[in-house]
Structure 1
Amino acid sequence: MTVLKDANPGGSQLADYILSLTGQQILAKYGFSSPKSVPESQGVGGILLAMTVAFALQRKLVAKQQKVQVSNEHHS
């Protein structure tokens, strides 16, 4: 799990919760493995996947912020 450098502070809090004992118990209940039991891939494929997901999330966030900004301008 990676929290981007310029991420909302809530991102770090969410990551901490997911990695906490409580968060891991909830994930285990739904069939997810503990991060300790999953090998971390350092391969190019894993890096490309992570970058693609981060890019898509950033684009979605920017689009949402622009939509809110336009909406606020119309109501002023």
Structure 2
Amino acid sequence: MRNMFRKVNELRIGKITAIKTAVGNNRGEGYIDTAVKILIAVVLGALLLAGLYMLFGDVVMPTLNERIQEMFNYAG
């Protein structure tokens, strides 16, 4: 009987130690940190893409179309 109580106590102490080690472990990167980094990257990428789209749509493409039409204008 005494041997059984000793084994149960050792098992309990082992589990408590494992839980304390797991909870106290601060290695690695958390899921929240990774999610925030991904969200920031997506938002910055979308802003950059929208800015480039506006630049090409309003500034570059009309100027390019005008120059191409001037190059192939055979009337003079």
> Normalized against structure 1, the TM-score is what?
0.34
> Normalized against structure 2, the TM-score is what?
0.34
More helix by share: 2
The structure with higher relative contact order (CA 8 Å, sep 6+) is 1
Greater Rg over alpha carbons, structure: 2
